Amino acid sequence: MVKAKPKNNDSLTSECIVEEFKEENTTSVILLASLLNSNNNFSDYTQGINDDENVTSTKIEKITEDKFEGFEWNEYQQGLILGAFFWLHWTTQIPGGLLANKYGTKLIFGLSNFSGVLFCFVIPAASFMGYKCLIFVRVIQGIVAGFAWPAMHTLTARWIPPNERSKFVTAYLGSSVGAALTFPMCGYIIDTWGWELSFYVSGVLGTLWYVAWYFLVFDSPSEHPRISQSEKEYILNSLGQSVSKEKAPVPWKDLLTSVAVWMNVLAQWGGIWGLFTLMTHAPTYFKMIHGWNIKATGFLSGMPHLLRMLFAYIFSLFGDYLLSRDKMSRTNVRKLATFVCCVGQGFCLLALAYSDCNYSMAIIFLTAATAIHGAVSTGPLASLVDISPNYASILLGMGNGTAVFSGFISPLIVGYLTYKN
């Protein structure tokens, strides 16, 4: 039997999510690096905590003199900046799914990400114009990037056989690779050349990605000019009648009243809350609590996201194994993965909260909380395609549109709780 291996689509899909999360994550590290030169007591404060608690993280090189003049933004303003990307990000989630359903993933996903990438070239100038101007740019960037994520499920439904979807949806977690690359990359660039260059490098990489995406990705096996006939037949026969070629009206009532749909939406929301909290505040946490320099902060903030991708891939293989050997029903595989990514992450976050200034425990629990969330690709994300392949992009738009609320609520809450503290 010929196994489906969509040429180019899988790797380019993962790389696309890498670029989208570079747009989101670059600001976290750069905000940290460009902030508080005027807060001269910061290093003394951190050193005092470490001395009092006898924490060995003092072995890591402490913060050195900044090479640029920092912005004097308080914790509340920082929270606004970090969360601004998500303020209206949700408004284009369902439209993104609808447009992808009509025009295809290649066009909607590609243009959405490329448009967001272009803002990377604007953000440095906006930062010097004031935090309000930066917030405005981030809001617009979040709006245009919002079309991308739900558009992916249309591609999945048209390319991937049902029993192989867990593994393919792992490509969505190119977001983890994006975070894993962005944090240390930005840390190195900032320390060597300055924070502005980090945005320009991200913008150039995103532009190069879009060129590859435009020429190499196709919306269905039937449109791909280089796919073999045997592979095309295998994919189309595996999909069977699950994907309709006719454009039927969207059954909004059925979608909005489905208990299964809303359970998946809630699962996405819960997992994303923890992930976004870690993603946006890990750099600040490692610097301000453990006193590590920008290079160490970037590396330690990015490493857990790489392990998230690895965990997602391993768990997807496990899920597909259970399905292919009839060890467990598809529904129970999705439930198991949802339990792992939500409940497992929750326990790790609680443990992280009680790690105090013990940097070893902090690294272990932060890494575990991030990595375990990788099971989401086998759980809620794949489940939405199972529920309705024809409207999977719309369902993902509903789920992600709800989940991204945590992207701006979480930074505000953290900013409020840590203000002047």
How many C-beta atoms surround the C-beta of residue 221 within 10 A? 21
Please list the alpha-helical segments (H only) found in 34-122. Answer: 42-53, 75-87, 93-103, 105-118
Tell me the per-residue pLDDT of 295-335, one tens digit each, with 9 for 90 and over: 666 677 677 878 888 898 899 889 988 988 889 998 999 99
Between residues 20 and 262, the one the model is more confident about = 262
Nearest to 160 by CA among 381, 417, 402: 381
Instruction: Say which CATH class 9-37+70-228+251-418 falls into.
Output: mainly alpha
Give the model's pLDDT for residue 118. Answer: 92
The yes-or-no verdict on residue 52 having pLDDT over 80 is no
* 402 and 269 Cβ atoms separated by less than 8 Å: yes
The yes-or-no verdict on residue 404 having pLDDT over 70 is yes
The yes-or-no verdict on residue 140 having pLDDT over 90 is yes
> Whole-angstrom Cα distance, residue 18 to residue 43?
33
Task: State the average pLDDT for the chain.
Answer: 77
Tell me the per-residue pLDDT of 67-90, one tens digit each, with 9 for 90 and over: 445 677 777 787 788 778 888 888
Between residues 66 and 25, the one the model is more confident about = 25
The yes-or-no verdict on residue 39 having pLDDT over 80 is no
State percent of the chain over pLDDT 70: 76
Highest mean pLDDT among 5-19, 73-87, 276-290: 73-87
* 384 and 267 Cβ atoms separated by less than 8 Å: no
Average pLDDT over residues 101-127: 90
* 291 and 47 Cβ atoms separated by less than 8 Å: yes
- What stretch of H or E contains 372? helix 359-372
Give the model's pLDDT for residue 245. Answer: 59
**141 exposure class (CB count in 10 Å sphere: 0-12, 13-18, 19+):** buried
CA distances from 121 to 22, 114, 200, 221, 258 (A): 13, 12, 6, 36, 42
* 386 and 252 Cβ atoms separated by less than 8 Å: no
Tell me the per-residue pLDDT of 374-387, one tens digit each, with 9 for 90 and over: 898 889 888 888 88
Give the model's pLDDT for residue 175. Answer: 66
- Give the residue carrying structure tokens 């050997």: 325
Range in 33-47, 214-228, 336-350, 393-407 with the lowest mean pLDDT: 33-47
Range in 106-120, 222-236, 285-299 with the lowest mean pLDDT: 285-299
Q: Which residue ranges make up each domain of the chain?
A: 9-37+70-228+251-418
Give the model's pLDDT for residue 337. Answer: 94
Give the model's pLDDT for residue 14. Answer: 43
pLDDT band at 273 (very low <50, low <70, confident <90, very high): confident
Tell me the per-residue pLDDT of 199-227, one tens digit each, with 9 for 90 and over: 898 889 889 989 999 998 888 888 888 88
Give the model's pLDDT for residue 70. Answer: 62
Average pLDDT over residues 366-395: 87
Average pLDDT over residues 273-301: 72
Between residues 284 and 253, the one the model is more confident about = 253
The pairs formed by 121-124 with CB atoms below 8 angstroms and a separation of 24 or more are 121/199, 121/200, 121/203, 123/27, 123/199, 124/195, 124/196, 124/199, 124/200
Give the model's pLDDT for residue 246. Answer: 62
Range in 23-27, 103-107, 207-211, 237-241 with the lowest mean pLDDT: 23-27
